[in-house]
Structure 1
Amino acid sequence: MLIISNAVHIPDDEIELSAIRAQGAGGQNVNKVSSAVHLRFDTQASSLPTFYKERLLALRDHRITREGVIIIKAQQYRTQEQNRADALERLIELIKSAVKVEKVRRPTRPTLGSKTRRLESKSKRGTIKAGRGKVDY
């Protein structure tokens, strides 16, 4: 069972894990051993709350297909167990990032002090640049 939060859990039978051969350099080990892990999680058929499903489908992430299937490929580590743990951790992070509610930004106006400091620095910079001109004798 994969624990997302105190109230939300994903049963193991909803997550499909398969071992595949990793890409890239690694020589004989990479050519013989299936140490990479391919994780598939169907959000539509899962037991996640509808709020979680809607937020996941609204995400613009390349790991989520149009049908709502999350596909994660983990091949960073040499062992299958480490790659499996990495894939599950990345799934948890993706789900948590989808349901995180961003704080609404309220625009503020600059203070009088910040305006005067900005204008003073602009005029100071202007006098420095004006002093670089041609020297008259």
Structure 2
Amino acid sequence: MEDVQIAPGVSLPASALQERAIRSPGPGGQNVNKVATAVELRARLDALVGLDEGARLRLSAARDRRLLDDGTFLIQAHRHRTLERNRADARQRLIAFVQRFLVPPTLRVATRPTRASQRRRVEQKKARGQVKRLRQERPGGD
């Protein structure tokens, strides 16, 4: 098994990966019952090399059901019929997961609503109120 290159300067050594072939779920006939084509990939994310401290903190704070309590990331890949394609799919999903945390999230800059948007909002509220007034039953009216 070889190292997984996440991004330039960021990689996961092969020693932090554990891969095993498992039986694939779902339909597929006799082939599914005989051949273990699905891949279960376990990656120790604390072993990532070249990860800055901010990305490491974002990664450790991640809420993902594939992230186990001990910091291991678990992927089960069974989309394809062959072991090789499932192995590549599992690695691609690992890379995509870690890459999400490399770039810090952009912070929203608070802005005031424009005068035109405030006016549109008030007009919509008045129109809605008018519709509701028209729907009301008036006493004594037929």
Q: Same fold (TM over 0.5)?
A: yes
1:6 — aligned with what?
Answer: 8
- What is the CA distance between 1:13 and its match in structure 2? 4.0
Among candidates 13, 21, 26, match of residue 24 of structure 1: 26
TM-score by length of 2: 0.82
- State the secondary structure of the residue aligned to 1:49: coil
Letter aligned with residue 47 of structure 1: V
- What is the CA distance between 1:133 and its match in structure 2? 4.3
Letter aligned with residue 96 of structure 1: Q
Gaps of 5+ in 1: none
1:72 — aligned with what?
Answer: 75
Gaps of 5+ in 2: none
2:115 — aligned with what?
Answer: 112
Change in Cα spacing, 1:48 to 1:55, as seen in structure 2 (3 Å) is farther
The 5 Å alignment of 1:63-102 reads 63-102=66-105
Of all paired residues, the percent bearing the same amino acid is: 39
Tell me whether 44-53 or 4-13 shows the greater mean CA deviation: 44-53
Letter aligned with residue 9 of structure 1: S
- What is the CA distance between 1:111 and its match in structure 2? 1.4
Letter aligned with residue 43 of structure 2: F
Among candidates 98, 109, 125, match of residue 122 of structure 1: 125
- Matched residues, number: 137
Deviations 1:42-73 (A, max 9, x none): 12344353534443222111111121111111
Q: Take 1:12 and 1:24, find their aligned partners in 2: how far apart are those partners?
A: 30
List, as ranges, runs of 4+ consecutive aligned residues in structure 1 with deviation greater than 4 Å.
133-137
- What is the CA distance between 1:17 and its match in structure 2? 1.7
- What is the CA distance between 1:126 and its match in structure 2? 2.4
